[in-house]
Structure 1
């Protein structure tokens, strides 16, 4: 195993925990219109509808449990750290299953179990439903809280930190990603340009599978454990 590993995870790593993916045949965006539910304009137009959708997703996250893939990544992160290495875990997922498995992760698309106040910018834990008129715990303004997730048309989070980590790695591993959402889908090409080895662990080939040096396909709970053993 390399000593500086960059791992990118997508919805596929949480699928076996009962959380839906987004773009496959039964994916979330096949059943719901993202332009009505996941944009700043949608929230401004009908905050009650948007919050109800995210309440439903939040309940699913709270009820879910980490699976063997989450635990394998947490264990690999701890093993590498113990011998002076590093596993930088960058996730596109807005759930907290990596953390509940014991890992530290950078959430480039935000976190569903947090809210952000549009008035003061304060970020707060949110495990229950979020009412339209709920006041901000910091500034007291009502009606300004939104899920702290990245909507369509918004800039992903922590891009500078992610870029620095990628440049300091010697192995890039993508797990459970579609390879269709940028900028995350471009990381494998950037990794190759930097001279990193690249590996895809996925249920089926992603849109950019041809860019990986090594590919392994199957359920994440099986192949992630095998790879990081």
Structure 2
């Protein structure tokens, strides 16, 4: 089977009720991004940062995958599907997708502030004083601004082998994810599903644009993809 790679972002989860990364004014639900998405912000006000992600985690547990997530999972019957997502939710997994790379971490995991390799499944609040068995404070397993993106090398390897690439709900303007599409030398077909087709103007690939929200666009695209399988 052909290798089909999805690059997904906030736009695919928005229909499930997950708010997009930031508003037009640069704030994330009323917070300056660096206050809640950097290690400096965490050191200055850990209670604020932990509460922010506790609220995001609670919200995630209340929502469900939407039709776009489900269609991508169904395409595993026709392709070797890998998802490279900038999202920290688990909606792709809950829809049934199996091969997922989370570039920016996972909201339903926690990790030690002392050893980043000590990672735990986590669905409840993380508070100041929430520790592992080594007495290390825990933090959200999220890649904050200024931190390395551990999965980027794996993502590059997947992109290099892709026959078809579909971008859903992301303009790929945040690095290092923004550079991934330039590694897709083998791919013959590129598709972009989003309500903002103008954001494809800087891509250096010939891309077929489907200017619809994720669920509607994926319903249209799935038949085109099956013809390419």
Normalised TM-score (structure 2) = 0.88
Assess, with a 3 A threshold, how the Cα gap between structure 1 residues 202 and 223 changes in structure 2: closer, same or farther: same
Q: Given the alignment, which residue of 183, 189, 211 partners 1:197?
A: 189
Shift of 1:197: 2.4
Matched, 1:226 2:226: no
Assess, with a 3 A threshold, how the Cα gap between structure 1 residues 201 and 209 changes in structure 2: closer, same or farther: farther
Q: Give the alignment's Cα RMSD to 1 decimal.
A: 2.0
Unaligned runs of 5+ in 1: none
Query: The residue matched to 1:222 in structure 2 has which SS?
Result: helix
- Whether the 8 Å contact between 2:162 and 2:186 is mirrored in structure 1 is no
Assess, with a 3 A threshold, how the Cα gap between structure 1 residues 67 and 195 changes in structure 2: closer, same or farther: closer
Alignment partner, residue 129 of structure 2? 133
* Runs of 4+ more than 4 Å apart: none
Alignment partner, residue 182 of structure 1? 175
Count residues with an aligned counterpart: 219
Matched, 1:86 2:80: yes
5 Å matches for 1:14-163? Answer: 14-25=13-24, 29=28, 31-77=30-76, 79-80=77-78, 85-104=79-98, 105-120=100-115, 121-136=117-132, 138-139=133-134, 141-142=135-136, 144-163=137-156
Query: The residue matched to 2:128 in structure 1 has which SS?
Result: coil
Shift of 1:27: 7.4
Normalised TM-score (structure 1) = 0.88
Describe the superposition over 1:40-64 as per-residue Cα deviations: whole angstroms up to 9, x where unpaired. Answer: 1111111111001111111111111
Describe the superposition over 1:97-121 as per-residue Cα deviations: whole angstroms up to 9, x where unpaired. Answer: 0000001211010000100012243
Query: The residue matched to 2:15 in structure 1 has which SS?
Result: helix
Describe the superposition over 1:104-158 as per-residue Cα deviations: whole angstroms up to 9, x where unpaired. Answer: 211010000100012243111111111110121x42x15x200001000111231
Alignment partner, residue 227 of structure 2? none
Assess, with a 3 A threshold, how the Cα gap between structure 1 residues 206 and 173 changes in structure 2: closer, same or farther: farther
